[in-house]
Amino acid sequence: EGIRGTGKTTLAPLLAAARDAVLVPTVPPCYHPLRQEIDRCSNVEARLCFYLSALFMATDEIQRHLSAGTPVVVESYFARCLASHEALGARTAVTLPRGLPHPTVYQLVCGEQERKHRLATRDEPASRWDVLGEHLATQMISAYGRFPALKVDTTGLTPEQAVESILALTPQGAC
């Protein structure tokens, strides 16, 4: 978990490899064409519902792997969806159902100067939601406060060092 530029996309596959886990995308591939359309719209409530739907679809796959005894890593989960959309202005009340997988959550944080540098070096253009999220980064970080997580500061760390920091927090292999 974490706001843009903290290392989620870079670290998730490395953590999955280190834990002998499956990396499950929380926006399933069948959602990708519609994702582009949703991200072009200005309705934050519709966007929230879309991403919640994608997460619920992903939880089916996550649960299948966990039931088979296979560890799972995801780049982001319900905390990111709910915290970011709350900061973006969504007012739809969401109560998550019982029985969802409850992972060990790592909230990645990063010094602002380094985070902005990481974002500036990305190849993909920022969406209108990304730009708005940057203006609301403080609110997003604050909204994350209601979700329990182990904080990992990725500032100044190589991806491998950041993964080692995560592994040191949960050496028994919890994912």
For 14, other C-beta atoms within 10 Å of its C-beta total 18
Contacts of 173 (CB under 8 A, 6+ apart): 19, 71
Q: For 27-62, how does the pLDDT look when each residue is reduced to its tens digit (9 = 90+)?
A: 999 999 999 899 889 999 999 999 999 999 999 999
Q: How far apart are CA 173 and CA 1, in angstroms?
A: 18
Beta bridge partners of 106: 150
pLDDT tens-digit map of 92-141: 999 999 999 988 999 999 999 999 999 999 988 888 999 999 999 999 99
